[in-house]
Structure formats: C-alpha cells, structure tokens
Amino acid sequence: MKELESFIYVVRVKETVTISIDPQNGAGEEETAMAVDGKALESSGGTKPTYTFADTQQVGNHFGVLECDFARAPDGAQFIVSLKGSVDGQAQFTVKKTDAIHDVDLEFRVRTNQD
C-alpha cells in the first residue's frame, strides 16, 4: 500500500489492508464504523477497533468510508487512524471532534504487482 495523497492509496492485487482506530481524549471505541464498496466491515472490537479488507479485484478501485461519531465525546476527543498494507506501506491521519467533517471518504486504487 502506498499513499498517493490524503485519503487516496494504491494497493496491490490481493493485498489486505488493515485500518486501526485509536480513540484518544475521551473518544469512544464504539463510536466508529467502516464500510468498503457499500458493505459494512466488522470491527475487531476492544479498545482499539480494527477493520480489515482484502482486495478481490485484479485492477480497479475500492471506495471506503470511515464514520467517526463524537456526539457523546468531550472537547479534545479524536481518533488516530492507521492504515497498513499486507505487502508494504502504511499511512496515518487524525479525525478530531473540532474537524468540520467526521466521515472520511477513502479510495484504494488497485494496481498489478508490476506497477
């Protein structure tokens, strides 16, 4: 996995992507949800929810959305989001309660191993 720009990543054919959420400053671990290509992903649960999806396309794109809910969170709450590819690469970003947008659109561009 390689980050092209904010929220856009290149992944290899059949690569698995792991998205780990680290709630900080009172953000609740049960206050996130993740979907890829319109299908909800199951969280690992626990204090640091983790979502995983495996590419099933030869070449193409996957579209995901990460929903972060701060309705019951105190000021200063945030989620640190880490993405890691099974082949290589990682990326990280933060979603804060003070951000205007709490639902993050993600794009995963699938490329062959030769790209």
- pLDDT tens column, 66-82: 999 999 999 999 999 99
> What's the chain's length in residues?
115
CATH of the domain at 29: 2.60.40
By percentage, how much of the chain surpasses pLDDT 90?
Answer: 81
Helices (runs of H) and strands (runs of E) counted in the chain? 0, 10
End-to-end C-alpha distance for the chain, whole angstroms: 12
At residue 56, the pLDDT reads 77
Residue type, 111: R
Q: How many CA atoms lie within 13 A of 63 on its CB side?
A: 4
At residue 57, the pLDDT reads 75
44 neighbors 57 (Cβ within 8 angstroms): no
Instruction: Find all residues with CB under 8 Å of 59, minimum gap 6, and list them.
Output: 13, 110, 111, 112
Domain count, the chain: 1
Q: Is the pTM of this model over 0.85?
A: yes
State residue 29 phi and psi, 5-degree precision: -65, -25
Structural domain that includes position 29: 2-111
